[in-house]
Structure 1
Amino acid sequence: MIRNIYRKADELGWDGLSAVDRTAWYNRWVDDEMLGGVLTRYMPRERARMWIKDVPMKHYNRARSGIGPYADLVSTPLPSAYDIARIALGEDWTVLSGTLREKPNRCQVTDGQGQMLMIWGAPRNLKSLVWAGLNARVDALPSPIVVINLLQGERLTENERRRHQKVCELAGLAVRVITTRTTRSTSSGRESPPLRLPDG
């Protein structure tokens, strides 16, 4: 069932939907015999709706990033932490095993000589990214870098870009803006996402 929910979210372009549109789709999914119809055999309709919102869809973007319990159920994954590191920092950078964390997505990366704490997410999550970076500095973790990941087709205005840069500078955090795109899983595994150069 979760795989079907994720497939429908992919088809709708979930990241681009407004809160009102998302609410409408939660209601439609509850009324769908193959989704909500299964759940409402065991729970009230409103509880089924909340389950869809608070369980699979709460994990949706983390799962697409290869993180969390539902990562193997997505059909259009986002670039992995390894991909993000290569795009934002360069081909020599890779993820240190066992350091991947979520809420927000972050991990330690190395080029074989130095280490950094890479924290990444969408522009709308800037507050969480910056807060994680500040906490990393307080906790004496490797030097944090914020990576703002735009999906193909998304844009930041010049004012937004300057504001993001200024917020990170005031927090003492390095920042990169990159553009990536989703990929489609195949029977042989996940395709390598086309790598895009950092935007700045």
Structure 2
Amino acid sequence: MRDQILYAMYSQAEKLDWELLSNSKKTEQYRQWVDDHEVGQAMLRYGAEKDVRVWLKDVAMKEYARAQEGIGSYVRYIPNRFKGTEEIVSAALDSSWTVKPDSVVIKPNRCTAIKGSFSRLVVWGRPSSFKDLFWAALTATKGGGDEAVIVMTTRDGENISDGERELQKKIGARGDFEVVYLNRQMISNPDYIPLSS
């Protein structure tokens, strides 16, 4: 049942372009999922509505955002996602850098990039998360001069104004962090496992 619920939700979320929805539209969609016979109504046989709402928001859709990054155990449920952490590292530094194995961490998304004996912290997220990204870079490097790169990611339909970019770069410079920008495209998810009939 869990698999069917996730496939149904993630398929609908992709059609709605979930990450670009306003908070009010997301709230309305949560209501619709509670009423949906494939999602909320199926879950209500096993728990209270308040518990269903919490699971939809705090588990399923938090994991959806991670799955779009190619991170976590829910990746297999979405047909399309971003290229992954290597794309972020290439944008932050260049293609000669690679992701250190087992270094990807969430909340916010970050990893260690390596090139020979050199390493750098790379943190990334959407424009609204800049403050969290800066803080993660600052605390991870402990202000000790270790270099970090903050990657602001956007999709078609999202823009960061020139004024906002200038402010982010100035703030980044205070921590000795470079701020770079990456507009991303979805690809077919190589980890997708279609729901078997």
TM-score, normalised relative to structure 1: 0.87
Which residue is equivalent to 2:16? 12
Which residue is equivalent to 2:28? 24
1:92-117, CA deviations, whole angstroms, 9 ceiling, x for partnerless residues? 11101111111111111122252111
Which residue is equivalent to 1:47? 51
Say whether residues 1:96 and 2:100 are aligned partners: yes
1:152 positional shift = 2.4
Decide which of 106, 109, 114 is 2:113's aligned counterpart.
109
Which runs of at least 4 in structure 1 moved beyond 6 Å after TM superposition? none
- What secondary structure sits across from 1:57 in the alignment? helix
- What secondary structure sits across from 2:160 in the alignment? coil
The one-letter code sitting in structure 1 at the alignment partner of 2:83 is P
Contact 1:134 1:171 in 2 (8 A): yes
The one-letter code sitting in structure 2 at the alignment partner of 1:137 is T
Structure with greater proportional helix content: 2
Contact 2:112 2:119 in 1 (8 A): yes
Decide which of 128, 141, 157 is 2:161's aligned counterpart.
157
Distance 1:145 1:67 in 2: 20
1:120-170, CA deviations, whole angstroms, 9 ceiling, x for partnerless residues? 111111111001110122186952111111112321111111111112112
For structure 1, the residue ranges without an aligned partner over 5 or more in a row are 192-200
Distance 2:155 2:92 in 1: 14
Percent identical among aligned pairs is 31
Distance 1:80 1:152 in 2: 17
Decide which of 87, 91, 102 is 1:87's aligned counterpart.
91
- What secondary structure sits across from 2:112 in the alignment? strand
Distance 1:173 1:68 in 2: 27
Say whether residues 1:121 and 2:125 are aligned partners: yes
Q: Greater shift after overlay, 79-88 or 28-37?
A: 79-88
Contact 1:151 1:181 in 2 (8 A): yes
TM-score, normalised relative to structure 2: 0.88
Cα distance, 1:140–1:5 mapped onto 2, change above 3 Å: farther
How many residues are treated as equivalent by the alignment? 188
Q: Greater shift after overlay, 166-175 or 22-31?
A: 166-175
Distance 1:94 1:6 in 2: 30
